[in-house]
């Protein structure tokens, strides 16, 4: 359900862990960061 809400938003939505790593980012957020969806928290 959280994924449905974030993907339905045109605003940047993300969540990070305590080390600052992305746990969740929507398409708008990935676009702002210049990263592909699903790739923003990897690497």
What pLDDT digit, counting tens, does each position of 1-25 carry? 788 888 889 999 999 999 999 888 9
Residue 39 lies in a domain: no
Residue 27 lies in a domain: yes
Residue 6 lies in a domain: yes
pTM attached to this predicted model: 0.68
Residue 19 lies in a domain: yes
Range 31-36 average pLDDT:
89
Diameter over CA atoms, the chain: 27
| Range(s) of the domain holding residue 19 | 2-33
Q: What is the CA radius of gyration of the chain?
A: 10
Provide the pLDDT confidence category of residue 40 given band limits of 50, 70 and 90. very low
Tokens 């449905």: give the residue: 4
Residue 25 lies in a domain: yes
Total domain count for the chain?
A: 1
Residue 40 lies in a domain: no
Residue 8 lies in a domain: yes
CA gap 24, 4 in Å, rounded: 12
Please say whether the beta carbons of 16 and 22 come within 8 A: yes
Residue 43 lies in a domain: no
DSSP for 1-43, written as a single string: -HHHHHHT-SS--EEE-TTS-EEEE-HHHHHHHT--TTTTT--
């Amino acid at each position: 359900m959280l994924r449905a809400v974030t993907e339905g938003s045109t605003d940047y939505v993300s969540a990070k862990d305590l080390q600052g790593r992305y746990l969740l980012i929507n398409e708008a957020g990935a676009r702002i960061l210049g990263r592909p969806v699903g790739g923003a928290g990897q690497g």
